[in-house]
Amino acid sequence: MRRSERIAAITRVLTDNPRRLFPLKYFTEKFDSAKSSISEDLAIVKKVFESLKLGKVETLAGAAGGVRYIPLYPDTEIRRILTDLCKNLSDPERVLPGDFLYMTDLVFMPGLVNKIGGIFATYFFDKDPDCIITMETKGIPIALMTARAFNVPLVTIRRSGKVTEGSVVSINYVTGSSKKIETMSLSRKALPVGSKVIIIDDFMKAGGTVRGMLELMEEFKAEVLGVGVLVETAKPEKKLVEKYISLLILESVDNDTDSITIRPGEWMQEAGL
Amino acid sequence: MRRSERIAAITRVLTDNPRRLFPLKYFTEKFDSAKSSISEDLAIVKKVFESLKLGKVETLAGAAGGVRYIPLYPDTEIRRILTDLCKNLSDPERVLPGDFLYMTDLVFMPGLVNKIGGIFATYFFDKDPDCIITMETKGIPIALMTARAFNVPLVTIRRSGKVTEGSVVSINYVTGSSKKIETMSLSRKALPVGSKVIIIDDFMKAGGTVRGMLELMEEFKAEVLGVGVLVETAKPEKKLVEKYISLLILESVDNDTDSITIRPGEWMQEAGL
C-alpha cells in the first residue's frame, strides 16, 4: 500500500471511531507496514485535522499507548451551526397552538443531531464520562450522538417502568412549568452504581425534568459531570437546576403574531467562543 | 496542500457525510487545487475504500455531478457483527422474569447501533427512501443510524399524541401477541403525503406493531419500500406482516434454565451473504 492509500484508510478508521484508542500495532498489521511508516502517516493525518480544525489526533506513548481521534468543533463552526439552527427554528410555520415551538423534525435529522452531539462533546471536552444520560423520546438522538463522540454508552430514562427491563428504580417528580406529578424509571441493569455521567436533553422550561433526572442519579450514586440542553426557554428566569448549559435560548413564541425569537445561549461567551 | 494531506481531508469529509453528493468544485475550492488533481485524489480514495471493502465511492459526471460515499458492509463483516451480537445476547444474565430478553443496553450502544444501521442500509442498498420510520423508544437509535447511512430524516411514531407536535393522525391497533388495543400517533407535519419510506424497529413478536405502522403509513399515502427489524421471535411462526427482514431470530428464552437461543436470520442466505 502506498502512503496516500494508507492515509485514506487511517483517516477512515479514526473518523468512524471517535475517542477509541487504536494501538499502532492495529495499523502495522492491517497494512503490513513498519512502525516508522505508520508514525509518519499519523503525523500527516494529525497535521491535516489540525489545519482543517476537525479536532485532535492524539498519540499516546507506552505499552497501553496508541492513537485516537477526538472530534472538536471550532468556535466559528459552532457559531455557524447554531445561527443556522436559530434561523430555521424562527420559521413562523413552527408556531403551534398554545405557543409551543415545533422542533421534532430537527431533533430527528441525522446530520444535524450529529453536529449537536459534537458541540456538546466539544463543550464537555475535558470530562471523562462513563455514559450519557437522557430521557425518552426527543432527547435520544442528540444524546446518542454525544455518546458516540465520547465513545460511551447512552442510558435512556423511561417515562414508565417496562416489564422487559428487569427491576427498575422509579421516582416521582413535579414538572416545573405545569406542576404535574410524573414518573421516571431506570432499569438497575442499565447504569452501574457510582458511574460518572453527563445529562443531555432537548428542552428545558423550568427544569423540573432535569431536576428529576438529578434525583434519579442520586439513587444510583452517580456523579453528574455536566448537564447540557439543546433549547431552554428564557422564562421562567429562575430554573429548578443551577448548573447546566443550553445551546439555544427561546425568548418567545407568539401564536397571535406567528413570531418566534430564539438565539444562541450565553455559554458561548463564557466559554470564550 | 500535498496529495496525502488532501486525501486525508477528502476521506474525512466523505466518511462523515454518507450518501451526500459533493460537487468537485467543493474540493477544488477548499484545497485551492486543479480539477485534475482532485480527480486523481478521488481515484485513490475510491481504490482504498474498495480494497478495504468499506463501501462505494461514486463519481457522477455532468453539471449536477460530483462524488459521494455509500457505506456498504461486506458479507464477512455482517456475519461477524451478527455472530458477536448473538453471543452477547445469549448471556444467561439477560434472561428476565416472564421469559423476556434484556437488550436495552445494546440498542443504545452508539458503536453497535451505527453498525446495525449500516447493515440495514447495505441490505436496502438499492432503495431510495425519503425517510426512515420507527416507533419510540428502543427502535430510535438503530433507525437514526439507518437514516444517517441513507442521508435522510428519521420520523418517529409516538405512543401518544403530544401537544407540542401540532395536529396528529392517530390509529388504534391490536398488539399481535398480547391482543391489547394500543394507540400510535404521528404529526401531520412530520411526514409529507406520498413519501417513500423504510420502516425500522428493534423487536417483532407477532408483528402487530409493524402492521399498525403499515396502516398508519396508508393514512399518509406513503409507499413502504421495506421493513427491517433487529430481532424477531421464532414463535409465533405466522406473523401479521408478510414482507420484512430480521437480522436475528430469537428461538427461545427460558427463565427456568436461564438459557437463550438466538441466531442470525434467514435473510442472509436469501441475500447470498
pLDDT interval class at A161 (50, 70, 90): low
Q: What is the pLDDT of residues B179-201, one digit of tens each?
A: 889 999 999 999 999 999 999 99
- Our measurement of the distance from residue B62's CA atom to the centroid of its chain's CA atoms, rounded to an integer in Å, reads 31
pLDDT value for B97: 85
Q: Please compute the mean of the pLDDT values over residues B167-174 and round it to a whole number.
A: 92
Cβ <8 Å between B12 and A52: yes
Q: Tell me which H or E stretch contains A8.
A: helix A3-16
Chain B CB contacts of A101 under 8 Å are: 164
In terms of pLDDT, which residue wins out, B268 or A127? Answer: A127
Residue with cell 444501521: B117
Q: Is B142 in the A-facing interface, judged by CB distances under 8 Å?
A: no
Q: What is the pLDDT of residues A58-110, one digit of tens each?
A: 999 888 889 999 999 999 999 999 999 999 999 999 999 888 899 999 999 99
**Residue B203 scores a pLDDT above 80:** yes
Nearest-angstrom CA–CA distance, B49 and B60: 17
User: Nearest-CA residue of chain B relative to A100?
Assistant: B164
pLDDT value for A181: 92
**Residue A38 scores a pLDDT above 80:** yes
What string of DSSP letters covers chain B? --HHHHHHHHHHHHHHSTT--B-HHHHHHHHT--HHHHHHHHHHHHHHHHHTT-EEEEEE-STT-EEEEEE---HHHHHHHHHHHHHHHT-GGGEETTTEE--HHHHT-HHHHHHHHHHHHHHTTT---SEEEEETTTTHHHHHHHHHHHT--EEEEBSS--GGG-SEEEEEEE-TTT--EEEEEEEGGGS-TT-EEEEEEEEESSSHHHHHHHHHHHHTT-EEEEEEEEEEESSSSS-S-SS-EEEEEEEEEETTTTEEEEEE-THHHHTT-
**Residue B163 scores a pLDDT above 60:** no
Q: Please compute the mean of the pLDDT values over residues A202-224 and round it to a whole number.
A: 97
pLDDT averaged over chain A?
93
Which residues have a Cβ under 8 Å from the Cβ of A80 and sit 6 or more positions away?
none
Best CATH choice for the domain B75-270 from the list 3.40.190.10, 1.20.1440.230, 3.30.70.260, 3.40.50.2020:
3.40.50.2020
Largest interatomic CA distance in chain A: 69
Tell me which CATH code domain B3-71 carries: 1.10.10.10
Q: Is B257 in the A-facing interface, judged by CB distances under 8 Å?
A: no
The pLDDT > 90 percentage for chain B reads 85
Task: Extract the C-alpha cell encoding A75.
Answer: 468556535
**β-bridge pairing B245-254 and B223-233:** parallel
**Residue B147 scores a pLDDT above 60:** yes
Q: Please compute the mean of the pLDDT values over residues A219-241 and round it to a whole number.
A: 96
**Residue A273 scores a pLDDT above 70:** no
What torsion, rounded to 10 degrees, do the Cα atoms B127, B129, B132, B133 define? -100
ipTM of the complex: 0.95
**Residue A163 scores a pLDDT above 80:** no
Nearest-angstrom CA–CA distance, B9 and A45: 8
User: Nearest-CA residue of chain A relative to B43?
Assistant: A5
Cβ <8 Å between A17 and B111: yes
User: Nearest-CA residue of chain B relative to A15?
Assistant: B12
pLDDT averaged over chain B?
93
pLDDT interval class at A176 (50, 70, 90): confident
pLDDT interval class at A35 (50, 70, 90): very high
Q: Is A80 in the B-facing interface, judged by CB distances under 8 Å?
A: no
Which residues have a Cβ under 8 Å from the Cβ of B273 and sit 6 or more positions away?
B75, B78, B79
Cβ <8 Å between A110 and B3: no
Q: Is B78 in the A-facing interface, judged by CB distances under 8 Å?
A: no
Q: Is A141 in the B-facing interface, judged by CB distances under 8 Å?
A: yes
User: Could you check whether B3-71 and B75-270 share the same CATH topology?
Assistant: no
**Residue B236 scores a pLDDT above 60:** yes
**Residue B270 scores a pLDDT above 90:** no
- Other beta carbons within 10 Å of A131: 21
Distances (CA, A) of B139 to A113, B121, B143: 17, 15, 6
Q: Is B190 in the A-facing interface, judged by CB distances under 8 Å?
A: yes
Q: What is the pLDDT of residues A114-137, one digit of tens each?
A: 999 999 999 999 999 999 999 999
Residue A243 · residue A204 · CB < 8 Å: no
pLDDT interval class at A269 (50, 70, 90): low
Residue with cell 413562523: A92
Which residues 31-50 of chain A have a CB within 8 Å of chain B? 44-45, 47-49
pLDDT value for B223: 98
Q: Is A167 in the B-facing interface, judged by CB distances under 8 Å?
A: no
User: Nearest-CA residue of chain A relative to B118?
Assistant: A16
Among residues B44, B74, B46, which one has the least CA distance to residue B58? B46
Residue A164 · residue B96 · CB < 8 Å: yes
Which residues have a Cβ under 8 Å from the Cβ of B23 and sit 6 or more positions away?
B65, B66
Task: Extract the C-alpha cell encoding B114.
Answer: 451505527
pLDDT value for B166: 81
Domain ranges in chain A?
3-71, 75-270
The pLDDT > 90 percentage for chain A reads 85
In terms of pLDDT, which residue wins out, B161 or A146? Answer: A146
User: Nearest-CA residue of chain B relative to A48?
Assistant: B5
pLDDT interval class at A264 (50, 70, 90): very high
pLDDT interval class at B269 (50, 70, 90): low
User: Nearest-CA residue of chain B relative to A97?
Assistant: B166
Among the partner-chain residues A7, A102, A151, the one whose CB lies closest to the CB of B189 is A102
Q: Is B167 in the A-facing interface, judged by CB distances under 8 Å?
A: no
How far off is chain B from A143, nearest CA to CA, in Å?
10
Q: What is the pLDDT of residues B99-144, one digit of tens each?
A: 889 999 999 999 999 999 999 999 999 999 999 999 999 999 999 9
How far off is chain B from A14, nearest CA to CA, in Å?
9
In terms of pLDDT, which residue wins out, A72 or A163? Answer: A72
**Residue A266 scores a pLDDT above 90:** no
Q: Is B58 in the A-facing interface, judged by CB distances under 8 Å?
A: no
How far off is chain B from A232, nearest CA to CA, in Å?
15
User: Nearest-CA residue of chain A relative to B8?
Assistant: A8
Q: Is B186 in the A-facing interface, judged by CB distances under 8 Å?
A: no
Q: What is the pLDDT of residues B66-86, one digit of tens each?
A: 999 999 999 999 999 999 999
Task: Extract the C-alpha cell encoding A176.
Answer: 416545573
Residue with cell 442472509: B268
Among residues B193, B201, B116, B114, which one has the least CA distance to residue B157? B201
Q: What is the pLDDT of residues B17-34, one digit of tens each?
A: 999 999 999 999 999 999
Cβ <8 Å between B164 and A111: no
Q: Is A99 in the B-facing interface, judged by CB distances under 8 Å?
A: no
pLDDT interval class at B273 (50, 70, 90): low
* Omega cis (within 30) before A76: no
Lowest mean pLDDT across A90-104, A187-201, A255-269: A255-269
Task: Extract the C-alpha cell encoding B87.
Answer: 453471543
Chain B CB contacts of A51 under 8 Å are: 5
pLDDT value for B183: 92
**β-bridge pairing A100-101 and A95-96:** antiparallel
Which residues 108-137 of chain B have a CB within 8 Å of chain A? 108-111, 113-114, 136-137
pLDDT value for B247: 97
How far off is chain A from B10, nearest CA to CA, in Å?
8
User: Nearest-CA residue of chain B relative to A135?
Assistant: B137
pLDDT value for A101: 93
Backbone angles phi, psi at A270, to 5 degrees: -55, -40
Chain A CB contacts of B190 under 8 Å are: 104-105
Cβ <8 Å between B4 and A7: yes
